[in-house]
Structure 1
Amino acid sequence: MAASMLTHSMSAAGLPCARTSGLRCLSISAPRSRRKDVQPRQRKEPMEIPGLERITYADRCYYVPWLARPQFPRFEMNWNPQYYRCPPAQEMALYKEQPSYVFNPKCRLLGGVKQALWLTKSKLIEGLPQRILKLCEDPAYTFPNHEELVHNAISSACLWSTTEEIREREEYCPKLLESLLHLCRTQHCTYPSLSQRTFVENWKLATSWHKDSTIYHIRGTNGSLICAKTPLEPLASSSEIQATEPHVLESLHPLSPAIDLQEVNVYEEKNDIGFKDGFPYPNLHTVYLTEPCSTRAKFSPDQLRAKMIMIAFGGAVAKARILFGEDVKTLPQPVVVQSVGTDGQLFHFMVLQLNTLDFQSNDGIKNLVWMDGDQALYDTVACKPKIKRKVVLIPAGIAGFKPETFVKFWAMYLNGAV
């Protein structure tokens, strides 16, 4: 490019250029491998002529240029899973013509909470149930010295275990959640009923349901779970459940209700809560979820709340079918599951009460969802202050600590034990 510009300028000025004076002009071009117009060489398929046998170098066991390339049968190593090749979907035993849609922990619902409410046929109620609010306000159930303990837990997760100015959320988010759960477990001596629970990590769930002639599934490993020997009591009375009949589900038009869900044709409709028969803690209590915190799968607060609804709903459906059978529509006893989600700073609290499994239409009794989201535990955390033009924008340490968020966290944990 530089040589062509030099030649053009010389010819424009009336000077002899390299082309007219007999001098060699070097041209600068990109390597052949970097050109976009160069297509990779494709191997030609051997031509098959009926009645003629191709002479190959298979018997000689080495390459001969003037002989044809032999075609050997595909090597199969059945004993090594690394070399296993999945057959086509149409040849699998579980293949079905009707497609279904799968929600897994990595799904980010574009419609957020609105889409989750439509899929689960639920009615949203802002705020926490009255029973949990009473636990927050009752002085008899106050967590002793919780402000100092929670402040130390935040410092341990975000400040004390690192020398960096800003710690990655992938590190401090799960550690903060584990520290808060550890504080709650220290009260087992004060409340003996809390000892009748167990903590399950990497909880696996599989459930399915039909809605508007479409099959939906929930699959995958979903955060952590607290299980109890006794189930949570229903939060809404029979009259409140019947009052949900006039409620109309919000439409997602022009979006499809299955947007962002994985479409599959190879599936099996099953309900597995992840526990074997005889497990001493068979009842779901609270599901704890953390925001993935990665750049590729980062969840917005609305998408995290939708994920909480979907996973709690899947666990409630699987548990209801285990208790009352596969064909039950109206549940004799509602199933209640709690959920807590966080990204390391904001906490979301949700309670779901499953009232019905009749998803053939949007009419009739609805399920209930109580949601209290965007509850910040603190405003900022920094190892060093951020100063701009002699003004402290972000102070060092923990700023804007809100202990009332932990009070709700403690009330959700204590629910069902008092």
Structure 2
Amino acid sequence: MRLTFCLYAGMRDVTVRNWNRVWRNRGKFYDYPAKIPQPLLDRGTEVVDMSNQKPQLQQWTPPVSDDPRWAKMIPPEEQPDWKDEPAFVHKDDVRLFEGVKQACLIAKAQHFDSFPPCVDQLIGAVETSDRDLLLQRGIMQSQVWNTDQDKLPHPPKHPRKPIWKWKRKHGITRLKSSLILLRNMLRMSHSHITDFPSLNLRKQIVDLPFYSYVMYKDKPIIMRETLDMLLTSDQMLAPFGDESIIDASVMHKIPDMWPVFPTVDFLETNNYELCNEAGFRREGQFTSPHTLIQVPRKTHWETQNYQASQVMTCLQYTAALARNKFGEDVRILPEPICVQHVMLEESRIFFTFFQLNTLDLSSDTGIKNLVWTGPVSQLFEKVMGQPWMPRPLKFDKLVNFNPAAYENFLAVYLSGLPELSGKSRAEDLS
């Protein structure tokens, strides 16, 4: 299409209505076929219309025949892991909109909105010297005392200035600040090794991959994820719920989401393998998982979405441990398998405790798995600055420092120590 003189003339009137009319009536240009001069036809000269000719291109071949950069993509149905029956895929970015209710429906679990009694009695039972000072230094190191100058995403719109044009800031990313604060709190918790020598048997494994699956209603739900950190011990955690709680779970009724299936938020794939990889070897010391620690990559989720992700991760991880320990066909576990899960989202700490009793997720009858979710611990709050306001409100600031939130983290870290087993808060660890 060519811009003709008439089309340019229509630009004089800037009204959209007139421009559309000119474009509709005079915006098309018809290219008439070329006229061949008669002398060329008399001479018998061959005239070739180049508009219909396609260039002859030679097929290029790489100098190295097996160069992976130029390898042809194998169709999914021709790959060796192709299955006719699709499977659901759960990742760390899958958001369960119904929260813990939906996760417990998949995990066939009974939910308790509190800390387990064995962990609750440790909250505030151990005193940390210079706790407030060390926490404040750890927070400042994660938020201010760092030389990183990465380009940060645009902050959300402020309700007082919805059309304010924010400038891109440079500083510490949320992921790195959370990891720095996490390492500081782990270091503070491990400093009690003089009082509890069993902490010497704890080991921290960073970036641990695991691959697991569960069969829900005879359909697999697979999960391949990388944990930010795994805290191991020399022995497995004792069951959070005793035999009476396990027997009473038979009478618990699993909530229903009908007519929506609980797997509505999952994606499906036909390329998968059913594996049980816990991420570390089974022989030797430090091979008993104690606490799963993760830093979420999504920052717009609600509390129930974070906790639902924790429940699903615990379910998949304990399922891999159960199959490695009791066999591939295990349904009702001979003994429970328990893990703890801690999620740190910049300043908020989420706690989840999971006890796997059964892998028979095809029916809602029988004994249930047990889930405890503790209250969210807010260590501090970060108030975003308002550049249009006077200097006191112009820059970001940290407020509402709450050192008591660290006591919950310390109780989870000290859970399962032989020195603390059987002791209550009333004894004050004397």
TM-score by length of 1: 0.77
1:155 to 129, 140, 146: 140
- Aligned pairs for 1:117-156 (under 5 A) are 117-138=104-125, 141-156=126-141
Q: Would you say the 8 A contact 1:76–1:83 is kept in 2? A: no
2:393 matches 1:406: no
Q: Which whole-Å CA distance do the structure 2 matches of 1:277 and 1:132 have between them?
A: 26
2:313 matches 1:311: yes
Q: Name the CA shift for 1:155/1:76 in 2 (closer, same or farther; >3 Å).
A: same
1:269 to 271, 274, 286: 274
Number of positions where the alignment pairs a residue of Structure 1 with one of Structure 2: 361
Q: Which whole-Å CA distance do the structure 2 matches of 1:67 and 1:7 have between them?
A: 42
Q: Name the CA shift for 1:66/1:151 in 2 (closer, same or farther; >3 Å).
A: closer
- 1:179 corresponds in structure 2 to 184
Give % identity.
26
Residue 119 of structure 1 aligns to which amino acid in structure 2? I
Q: Which whole-Å CA distance do the structure 1 matches of 2:408 and 2:178 have between them?
A: 18
2:249 matches 1:247: no
2:340 to 338, 349, 369: 338
- Aligned pairs for 1:58-207 (under 5 A) are 69=56, 79-138=66-125, 141-161=126-146, 167-207=172-212
Q: Which whole-Å CA distance do the structure 1 matches of 2:233 and 2:127 have between them?
A: 22
Unaligned runs of 5+ in 2: 1-6, 16-21, 29-51, 150-168, 421-430
Q: Would you say the 8 A contact 2:204–2:230 is kept in 1? A: yes
Residue by residue over 1:203-230, the C-alpha shift from the partner in whole angstroms, topping out at 9 and shown as x without a partner, is 1111112111211111121221101111
Q: Name the CA shift for 1:71/1:112 in 2 (closer, same or farther; >3 Å).
A: farther
Q: Name the CA shift for 1:258/1:293 in 2 (closer, same or farther; >3 Å).
A: closer
Q: Which whole-Å CA distance do the structure 2 matches of 1:67 and 1:168 have between them?
A: 52
Residue 414 of structure 2 aligns to which amino acid in structure 1? L
Residue 82 of structure 1 aligns to which amino acid in structure 2? R
2:242 matches 1:237: yes
- Aligned pairs for 1:314-333 (under 5 A) are 314-333=316-335
Q: Which whole-Å CA distance do the structure 2 matches of 1:129 and 1:326 have between them?
A: 29
- 1:257 corresponds in structure 2 to 262
- 1:42 corresponds in structure 2 to none
Residue 274 of structure 1 aligns to which amino acid in structure 2? G
How far did residue 167 of structure 1 move? 5.0
Residue by residue over 1:375-411, the C-alpha shift from the partner in whole angstroms, topping out at 9 and shown as x without a partner, is 21113367x8989579x66997542111111000000
Residue 99 of structure 2 aligns to which amino acid in structure 1? G
- Aligned pairs for 1:191-230 (under 5 A) are 191-230=196-235
Residue 207 of structure 1 aligns to which amino acid in structure 2? S
Secondary structure of the residue aligned to 1:156 is helix
Q: Which whole-Å CA distance do the structure 1 matches of 2:79 and 2:397 have between them?
A: 57
How far did residue 194 of structure 1 move? 0.8
Q: Would you say the 8 A contact 2:214–2:316 is kept in 1? A: no
What RMSD over aligned residues (CA atoms) do the two structures have, in Å? 3.3
Q: Name the CA shift for 1:242/1:394 in 2 (closer, same or farther; >3 Å).
A: farther
Q: Which whole-Å CA distance do the structure 2 matches of 1:274 and 1:396 have between them?
A: 40
Q: Name the CA shift for 1:67/1:166 in 2 (closer, same or farther; >3 Å).
A: closer
- 2:4 corresponds in structure 1 to none
Q: Would you say the 8 A contact 2:124–2:407 is kept in 1? A: no
Q: Name the CA shift for 1:387/1:244 in 2 (closer, same or farther; >3 Å).
A: farther
Q: Name the CA shift for 1:389/1:95 in 2 (closer, same or farther; >3 Å).
A: closer
Q: Name the CA shift for 1:239/1:70 in 2 (closer, same or farther; >3 Å).
A: same
Q: Which whole-Å CA distance do the structure 1 matches of 2:399 and 2:13 have between them?
A: 66
Unaligned runs of 5+ in 1: 10-27, 30-34, 38-64
Q: Name the CA shift for 1:394/1:316 in 2 (closer, same or farther; >3 Å).
A: farther
Residue 347 of structure 1 aligns to which amino acid in structure 2? I
Q: Would you say the 8 A contact 1:123–1:247 is kept in 2? A: yes
Q: Which whole-Å CA distance do the structure 1 matches of 2:340 and 2:53 have between them?
A: 74
Q: Which whole-Å CA distance do the structure 1 matches of 2:97 and 2:107 have between them?
A: 16
Q: Which whole-Å CA distance do the structure 2 matches of 1:216 and 1:284 have between them?
A: 22
TM-score by length of 2: 0.75
Residue by residue over 1:16-63, the C-alpha shift from the partner in whole angstroms, topping out at 9 and shown as x without a partner, is xxxxxxxxxxxx99xxxxx9x9xxxxxxxxxxxxxxxxxxxxxxxxxx
Residue 276 of structure 1 aligns to which amino acid in structure 2? R
1:285 to 290, 301, 306: 290
Q: Name the CA shift for 1:246/1:76 in 2 (closer, same or farther; >3 Å).
A: farther
Residue by residue over 1:257-293, the C-alpha shift from the partner in whole angstroms, topping out at 9 and shown as x without a partner, is 2233231112211111111342522211111111215
How far did residue 86 of structure 1 move? 3.3
Q: Which whole-Å CA distance do the structure 2 matches of 1:249 and 1:287 have between them?
A: 26
How far did residue 254 of structure 1 move? 3.8
Q: Which whole-Å CA distance do the structure 2 matches of 1:110 and 1:168 have between them?
A: 26
